[in-house]
Amino acid sequence: GQSLEQPSEVTAVEGAIVQINCTYQTSGFYGLSWYQQHDGGAPTFLSYNALDGLEETGRFSSFLSRSDSYGYLLLQELQMKDSASYFCAVRVGETTDSWGKLQFGAGTQVVVTP
């Protein structure tokens, strides 16, 4: 079967750095996405890694190692507004389905304290 593992909660202070790890077991892997969701809100896209390596977007960076079935999201210079749930999602599909579909992890609650 397919599975994704990520920590359930991480707590850090403002200005700190947080790394959220995501390991996956899946077939037909195309890439790894990260989404942010504030309480009661819609998930919003943060990043997508299809190839190995680090992608940087402002204070957030995402990393993928396909050989290790592992990725992480790095949140730097934490701000109070970063308190939210963060989901990793694998894009998977069959060779006949080039679009693929997203399968989400259970999410990591990031709590930022003053």
Residue with Cβ nearer other proteins (51 or 114): 51
Among 12, 31, 61, 76, binds other proteins (CB under 8 A): 31
- Nearest approach, Cβ of residue 69 and other proteins (Å): 16
Shortest separation between residue 10's beta carbon and other proteins, angstroms: 16
- The tokens for 30 are 């195309």
Applying CB under 8 A, does 44 fall inside the site for other proteins? yes
Residue labelled with tokens 């079967």: 1
- Smallest gap from Cβ 113 to other proteins, in A, equals 23
Find all residues with CB under 8 Å of 76, minimum gap 6, and list them. Answer: 17, 59, 60, 61
Closest separation in Å from C-beta 15 to other proteins: 29
| Residue 70 near other proteins by CB under 8 A | no
* Rg of the Cα atoms in the chain: 14
Residue 71 binds other proteins, judged by CB under 8 A:
no
Round to the nearest angstrom and report the end-to-end CA distance of the chain: 41
> What DSSP line would sit under 19-62, residue for residue?
EEEEEEE-SSEEEEEEEEE-TTS--EEEEEESSSEEEEETTEEE
Interface ranges with other proteins (CB under 8 A):
30-33, 41-45, 48-50, 87, 89, 91, 97-107
